[in-house]
Structure 1
């Protein structure tokens, strides 16, 4: 029977690493079943194993995003190593904890329970379901608000993830939108000497009424369109953890 030898999370190229005791084929079957359960069947095998024996990832149409690698140690028998990669450190940690709990459940030795002392003192808080409508609605106002909503009390995000993504979208709006605003207003119609002489009304100064207003609107749309898939993935992953009765530990 397969039991968990060590669940030590280490940083390896922005990934989570787990060591498993047992035959790699048995471990592979259990890892695939656990991953398939989480991703609701949205899992595919990839030949790009990066030196590992197995690599599982998400199809392009999936609402989830992950890369899970499983391999063997060259000088250690019956020990497998699993590497988890996602777009956020928080989601990698959530995956690590999810796999830990799932593989414990699948350990059918019937003798005692595998425990992890590092988590004994952690406090648990049950998750609350998040709304796709709210996340996408906030994204229309500002992608930053969508990130803050999805990161609040969610294992999908660590504080560093939330800060980096909020900063990215804030700067995207500031720089891309600012440059577009400058271009549009700088190329807007201007009052001529004759217009001033005959007291003709000039441009309103409203960027949305300017000649190239479409450029400014497109510039604002770019980060929001980019965030649409991120908001979908964040909300779906969080709600999936909620459905699996995952406890948010902090």
Structure 2
């Protein structure tokens, strides 16, 4: 495998993924009533799901803003403001690093705050198991992403593709680099050993630096272990309620 050729494409791939994430969209929901009234309802709902969030004073022109903490398995940045200067109605703006979570929150607010009836093709959520996600993560972080994204409003197809691509590239860079380094550190046979056709130093796993390959594997799996816990926990917290979702 020519790692040099592969690595030439890695910066391009990372730039593409970075641009994909930077093009952050948002979901909005218009709700009757003042921002203060809406704020009371939103706080009650957020406390019901997970109390680990905080109010941010940097509202960017909105009246209220709430963000998750690292202890909260959800990923959200929610704003409350007025629809217009002279309008009596309010607007909720939902931002997240995942498009799926933005859409999930919008569907929750439509059902919980607007009391909209569920869509015909919307379905209830089934429980997911962290032990399965973590077990798949040991094989490959991509397999864990696939399990957590399957029939879950937390992910869209785009979210699944981007998350999988990032873990794939991270494994390629870290594990591939560690493998290449260990291979280069293998001792070479001298002229006499070549003439006598003596056995060489062995494969890369005999290298004293092969431990770096396992360390590289552990990095991506360690990161995914936390992400998998977040995905499973957020999905199951949402599944406790009677909400239904369109994927």
Does residue 212 of structure 1 match 2:223? no
Conserved? CA contact 1:65–1:233, under 8 Å:
no
Alignment equivalent of 1:231, drawn from 207, 212, 228? 228
Does residue 48 of structure 1 match 2:58? yes
TM normalised by structure 1 equals: 0.81
Does residue 57 of structure 1 match 2:67? yes
Where does structure 1 lack aligned partners over 5 or more consecutive residues?
1-11, 105-113
Conserved? CA contact 2:137–2:225, under 8 Å:
yes
Count of residue correspondences: 225
Does residue 72 of structure 1 match 2:69? no
Deviation of the 1:234 alpha carbon: 0.9
Cα distance in 1 for partners of 2:116, 2:136 equals 41
* More helix as a share of residues: 2
**Which SS does the other structure have where 1:82 is aligned?**
strand
Alignment equivalent of 1:190, drawn from 173, 188, 205? 188
Alignment equivalent of 1:37, drawn from 48, 55, 58? 48
Deviation string for 1:106-160 (max 9, x for gaps)? Answer: xxxxxxxx547xx64x413222111111111111111100011111111111111
Equivalent residue for 1:150? 148
Cα distance in 1 for partners of 2:62, 2:156 equals 27
Equivalent residue for 1:23? 34
Conserved? CA contact 1:189–1:211, under 8 Å:
no
